[in-house]
A and B are shown apart, each in its own frame.
Chain A
């Protein structure tokens, strides 16, 4: 007899403006199993878990917990049903002790005062029964990352959770801590808890999970037993086996080098090496695709080329000149365009009218400026042109950027960068979070400007996009370029293997 169902999600759909995060997702989690949910960034894993935990309300679909149909409008209701979540970013008060953090919001009371003895003994009981090593009176600020995570887990158990959701729990841990975590999870499982585990590190998933559900582009691809699948197969499922053959018209790439990076090393905000010894070249009229799981140095690469981050070593050459010491403004003025990965953060002034957004990044040059003054009529005319050429759907150019849908915001950003006629365009996830129609328009536009001699650095998590658009591909992992590939004979499977660091048996090594 199969084990009872702990949680079942049926036909869950969640739309955000411009994007469908979950599209008819089905998952059944059996009681007492460790169920992994895997998928690329943006596949909809986090949205799904937020729905299950009551942080988001689904547009369609049904959830059952322990056989009963439920609908949560807040995490409190999910907690009442025995569901607990351990967030990727810990939610602990540093200046309280472990015990105080655990009981925060669920304090045991005796005659109106916190019953510390009761709290301590129930905490010690929890620790003992699950084999969790805890010290109730340690200050949280003194704890290591792995210990903090354990506090989060205990917090959830203390509230009586039988079903634990862990959102990328290993992302912050070092290997030894991962082992410790897995030991704890197996213990919890042995005691009858159900664990839902979100991750995209495939080897870890295979090690810990009993069952694996793969999400891709918001849809459930399949659910498999961990024993029946290899890392290779999982990668393929995550990325999608078949690809539409990209109809890239053959074209001649110039041998003029627009941008080259030689031995570039860069430190991140915590002084750790974010890029190490990166060599790249982009020629005139070429799209260089950068593949990689997010957080492997792509953001730092962009920031370095743009001048937002200074190099620790190596040199950047743009159009034959070394630009290491150039300011962001000088780089932008000399022809580096930028489509940011997060348009709200880096690319738009949400509360400013469209015409002021259209001049962002080009505010020092014609037609937006004349000398030290803003050329209002020039800027407005240029904005009208961008809006009509790039089909930005808006009532007018005095509308604030916030009012536009995501796809139209993106068209405005891409339009203004292309309209400025740059030599190099940094396009980071140019089609993220926009609908299919807008996506096709963006691709078409990139192909068109490439034909005119524009160089494009294309960073994307969408492997279809990379293989379909790029003339050459590089893969980044851990701040290094680990592979250089020709998209013509690259499969998503091969690309995925390079990206996730799974065993590579048929790729060429990095040059």
Chain B
């Protein structure tokens, strides 16, 4: 029973990925490239220690973004605004971090808290609009993204710009040493070899893992998480069970925004120590894809984030060798998301049918006639 369950759980993502590789291979053949060569190159390059470190660094913010999106998804809230929330949170947290001087762990903690609060407040606006004015969160969060970008642009040119900046690259002031997140090179290198090329294994992955665990415990072990989850499963039943739908919307948006606030921090705390124009964009949208691949489950999201992280890290070799365009990886990623959604649906129907059959068999008694068929099978 358990073995079959695990098999069924794995069948969907594995077949989705296989299907995506086949589609991308077909595209490569169509443009006259040998797909086997391209994949082989990516695989051999992708297994290097440096690429794996890069994978972890790329997966960390993707994972946080996936969790932020998933919190909303778990109660059918579509927080499309993770993008704007993390951008503005990163800018304000970087500026706040540069403005204070605190001892090391407290300094980092302070920056993290500022980022989470800013992210929350920003997503909270969408929650507030939804419960008071009935504005759909997709609309409000998309518009809040635009507001966030405009605010970032304005603030960087005015109050938050580093006055000592001599370059044309607008940036905030740098965070002092005490506010920088240590890397994990030391730990990793005791198990492996030296990491070449000045790469660092970002330490923020620890925070990401903690966020995933907390997310999981919150959903499965707390009353509040149960309320959030059942609102997603059946809002009408949840309301009748005593869940306050408005409070739950606000709570979910605040939590989602708080996690969104963390997304930019690996870069701010571990890499750049400031917010500047080169700050990575698009992680919020990528988080939607990662959450979809991961079925909004913390473990699934980890798989999705690592997969995307690895593909992004291994793809540049295609350009270096010049055999295949690296954009093929983007196609692969897109197809993975679509086919994962389809595969999960197929798998979930198969599971329902299977379970209905098991139940019918387990509960059948000689006196039961047609009346004990499971209700799940209606719908013809």
A364 and B223 contact, CB distance less than 8 A: yes
How many residues of chain B are within 8 Å of chain A by beta carbon?
39
A395 on interface, CB distance cutoff 8 Å = yes
Seed contacts A331-B242, A372-B224, A373-B223; 8 additional CB < 8 Å A-B pairs: A18-B371, A360-B241, A361-B241, A373-B222, A374-B223, A403-B358, A405-B371, A405-B374
A400 and B355 contact, CB distance less than 8 A: yes
13 interchain pairs, CB-CB under 8 A: A17-B377, A332-B241, A338-B240, A340-B237, A345-B236, A369-B223, A374-B223, A394-B362, A403-B352, A404-B375, A405-B371, A405-B375, A407-B371
Contacts of B352 in A (CB 8 A): 400, 402-403
A183 on interface, CB distance cutoff 8 Å = no
Known: A349-B233, A373-B223. A340 touches B359 (CB 8 A): no
Given the complex of chains A and B, what is the CA–CA distance between A361 and B372 in angstroms? 26
Given the complex of chains A and B, what is the CA–CA distance between A350 and B376 in angstroms? 9
B363 on interface, CB distance cutoff 8 Å = yes
A20 on interface, CB distance cutoff 8 Å = yes
Contacts of A328 in B (CB 8 A): 239-244
A19 and B226 contact, CB distance less than 8 A: no
From residue 392 to 440 of chain A, which have CB atoms closer than 8 A to chain B? Answer: 393-395, 399-400, 402-409, 435, 437
Q: Which of A56, A376, A395, A409 contacts B375 (CB 8 A)?
A: A409
B32 on interface, CB distance cutoff 8 Å = no
From residue 327 to 361 of chain A, which have CB atoms closer than 8 A to chain B? Answer: 327-333, 338, 340, 344-352, 356, 359-361
Contacts of A350 in B (CB 8 A): 233-234, 376
Contacts of B225 in A (CB 8 A): 374
B221 on interface, CB distance cutoff 8 Å = yes
Binary interface encoding of chain A residues 2-18 relative to chain B, with 1 for a CB under 8 A from any of its CBs, else 0: 00000000000001111
Q: Which of A59, A306, A338, A374 contacts B226 (CB 8 A)?
A: A374
Identify the closest chain B residue to A405 (Cβ): B372
Known: A363-B241, A395-B358, A403-B376. A349 touches B230 (CB 8 A): yes
A-B residue pairs, 10 tightest by C-beta: A329-B242, A393-B363, A395-B362, A361-B241, A403-B359, A17-B373, A402-B376, A403-B355, A435-B371, A349-B233
B227 on interface, CB distance cutoff 8 Å = yes
Contacts of B359 in A (CB 8 A): 394-395, 399, 403-405
Give chain B nearest CB distance to A390 CB in angstroms. 14
B378 on interface, CB distance cutoff 8 Å = yes
Identify the closest chain A residue to B370 (Cβ): A15
Contacts of B241 in A (CB 8 A): 328, 332, 360-363
B220 on interface, CB distance cutoff 8 Å = yes
Given the complex of chains A and B, what is the CA–CA distance between A15 and B375 in angstroms? 11
Given the complex of chains A and B, what is the CA–CA distance between A435 and B352 in angstroms? 23
Give chain B nearest CB distance to A406 CB in angstroms. 5
Given the complex of chains A and B, what is the CA–CA distance between A505 and B109 in angstroms? 79
A308 on interface, CB distance cutoff 8 Å = yes
Given the complex of chains A and B, what is the CA–CA distance between A260 and B91 in angstroms? 58
Partner-B contacts on A (CB < 8 A): 15-20, 56-57, 59, 306, 308, 327-333, 338, 340, 344-352, 356, 359-364, 369, 372-374, 376, 393-395, 399-400, 402-409, 435, 437
Identify the closest chain A residue to B358 (Cβ): A395
Identify the closest chain A residue to B224 (Cβ): A372
B240 and A348 contact, CB distance less than 8 A: no
Binary interface encoding of chain B residues 191-229 relative to chain A, with 1 for a CB under 8 A from any of its CBs, else 0: 000000000000000000000000000001111111100
From residue 279 to 332 of chain B, which have CB atoms closer than 8 A to chain A? Answer: none
Given the complex of chains A and B, what is the CA–CA distance between A140 and B132 in angstroms? 32
Known: A308-B239, A363-B226. A404 touches B374 (CB 8 A): yes
Identify the closest chain B residue to A362 (Cβ): B241
A360 and B375 contact, CB distance less than 8 A: no
B356 on interface, CB distance cutoff 8 Å = yes
Given the complex of chains A and B, what is the CA–CA distance between A59 and B233 in angstroms? 32
Contacts of A340 in B (CB 8 A): 237, 240
Known: A373-B222, A405-B373. A395 touches B363 (CB 8 A): yes
Give chain A nearest CB distance to B297 CB in angstroms. 14
Known: A346-B237, A402-B356. A364 touches B371 (CB 8 A): no
Given the complex of chains A and B, what is the CA–CA distance between A348 and B377 in angstroms? 16
Known: A363-B226, A372-B224. A329 touches B372 (CB 8 A): no
Give chain A nearest CB distance to B218 CB in angstroms. 10
B244 and A327 contact, CB distance less than 8 A: yes
A403 and B356 contact, CB distance less than 8 A: yes
Contacts of B234 in A (CB 8 A): 345, 348-350
Given the complex of chains A and B, what is the CA–CA distance between A340 and B237 in angstroms? 9
Identify the closest chain A residue to B365 (Cβ): A393
A406 and B244 contact, CB distance less than 8 A: no
Q: Which of B223, B233, B371 contacts A19 (CB 8 A)?
A: B371
Known: A348-B234, A350-B234, A374-B221. A402 touches B362 (CB 8 A): no
Contacts of A306 in B (CB 8 A): 240
A402 and B239 contact, CB distance less than 8 A: no
A333 and B242 contact, CB distance less than 8 A: yes
Give chain B nearest CB distance to A437 CB in angstroms. 8
Central interface residue in B244, B358, B359, by most chain A CB within 10 Å: B359
Give chain B nearest CB distance to A440 CB in angstroms. 13
Identify the closest chain A residue to B361 (Cβ): A395
Contacts of B355 in A (CB 8 A): 399-400, 402-403
Given the complex of chains A and B, what is the CA–CA distance between A345 and B378 in angstroms? 15
B242 and A364 contact, CB distance less than 8 A: yes
Give chain B nearest CB distance to A392 CB in angstroms. 9
Given the complex of chains A and B, what is the CA–CA distance between A52 and B380 in angstroms? 16
